[in-house]
Structure 1
Amino acid sequence: MKFGILVFDGVEELDFVGPWDLLKIWSKVADGPDECLIIAESSSPITCARGLSINPHLSFDDSPTFDYLLVPGGQGTRKEVENSALLEFVERQGTTCQAVLSVCTGSFILHAAGLLSGKQATTHWASLDRLRALGDVQVVEERFVEDGQIWTSAGVSAGMDLMLGFIARTSGEEAAAEVQLSAEYFPSSTHYGEFKDHPGAPGYLKHS
């Protein structure tokens, strides 16, 4: 099983590092992917949204065909939705992948690559209206959404919820439980401030 994670300048760090860590734990404790690879347009270092610099494993030209592809978000997506090379890569992989996943505003890359039209999807709470404005996406205000082979999540940390849900769907709840315990990812029920009163708060927060 080959799992690819797409990166680009301005990618949000936790969007891909959180899922990456869970993927590697999955490989170790519960028969997860044989390969987890970070892919970018070139093999040059990538500067992430908050200044982290990373080195991709492979460029598009050297990339294998993946079984699964994850597309993170971040401010860089606003530029990348116009990047024909990146969109062609996502579209090409999407034709053969068993599933394509996005975190945060990575959903806009999926849409620009032709993979999100007619689907249920979500994104970062601050971009929900922008996703609705595309006109052909049924926006669902949940932490993550599965619609056929397309999975999308809300912002940043929600990518970890998406990945655990994906592991449970792919390998079963016991595998997801092993990964969750190993990562000690049990989000606190403590909520700070009056987040429910924020006008842009997504539905899943208002009802929690």
Structure 2
Amino acid sequence: MSFGIIVFPEVEELDFVGPWEMLTMWSKLAGGPANCLIVAEKREPVSCAKGLSINPHVSFAECPPLDYLLVPGGMGTRREVDNPAMTRFLADQAPGCKALLSVCTGAFVLHAAGLLSGRTATTHWASLDRLRALGDVKVVEQRFVQDGNVWTSAGVSAGTDLMLAFIAHTAGEEAAAKVQLQAEYYPADTVYGSTASHERAPAYVKRPSQASGSAA
């Protein structure tokens, strides 16, 4: 099995590094894909949103057929939705993929390649209205959502949850459990400061009244 994660200039680092960590642990611990690849339009260093530079394994032209493919988000997606090389690569790979995944605004890149129309999907909280404006996507405000073989997640850190849930769905809960334990991924439910009171805070974030109610 081959799993590819696409990167591009100004990709958000945690959008792909979080899923990459879960993916490669799956591969090493629980029989996950043997071939895990970072894929970019060209095989040269890619400068990410926060300054990290990453070296892709393969270019679009060199990439083998993939069983699974993930598109992360970041400000660079604003450009990639109009990049014919990107949308053509996705459209060419998609028919042979068992699953397509996106994190954050990577959903817009899937849509630009014709792979999200008619689906239920989510994205970063600040881009939910923009996704709704496309008109042919049923937008939900959830940490992640599956619609058939297409999985989408909310922003940045949500990609880690997406990948862990995908592993559980694909390989079983025990496989996901091994990955979760090795990664020590047991997120705290602390909500700092006024985060939950922000008018556009994600709906799934516990409000102070909810938190106190659950404690009682």
Q: Same fold (TM over 0.5)?
A: yes
TM-score (norm 2): 0.94
d(CA) in 2 for partners of 1:33 and 1:196?
A: 38
Report the equivalent of 1:33. Answer: 33
Whether the 8 Å CA contact 2:191–2:206 is kept in 1: the answer is: no
Question: Counterpart amino acid of 2:62?
Answer: D
TM-score (norm 1): 0.98
Q: Mark the runs of 5 or more structure 1 residues left unpaired by the alignment.
A: none
Query: By how many angstroms is 1:206 displaced?
Result: 5.0
d(CA) in 2 for partners of 1:151 and 1:179?
A: 19
Report the equivalent of 2:214. Answer: none
2:108 matched to 1:108? yes
Question: Counterpart amino acid of 2:96?
Answer: T
- Where in structure 2 are the equivalents of 1:1-208 lying within 5 Å? 1-206=1-206
Question: Counterpart amino acid of 1:95?
Answer: P
The percent of aligned pairs where both chains have the same amino acid is 67
d(CA) in 2 for partners of 1:199 and 1:111?
A: 27
d(CA) in 1 for partners of 2:74 and 2:106?
A: 7
Q: Which runs of 4+ in 1 moved over 3 A?
A: none
3-state SS, counterpart of residue 65 of structure 2: coil
Q: Deviations over 1:69-97 (max 9, x none)?
A: 00000000000000001100011111110
Q: Mark the runs of 5 or more structure 2 residues left unpaired by the alignment.
A: 211-216
Query: By how many angstroms is 1:196 displaced?
Result: 2.4
d(CA) in 2 for partners of 1:60 and 1:148?
A: 25
d(CA) in 1 for partners of 2:63 and 2:28?
A: 23
Q: Deviations over 1:18-38 (max 9, x none)?
A: 100111110111111101000
Whether the 8 Å CA contact 2:73–2:105 is kept in 1: the answer is: yes
d(CA) in 1 for partners of 2:194 and 2:55?
A: 39
d(CA) in 2 for partners of 1:105 and 1:170?
A: 24
Question: Counterpart amino acid of 1:55?
Answer: N
Question: Counterpart amino acid of 1:14?
Answer: L
d(CA) in 2 for partners of 1:124 and 1:193?
A: 20
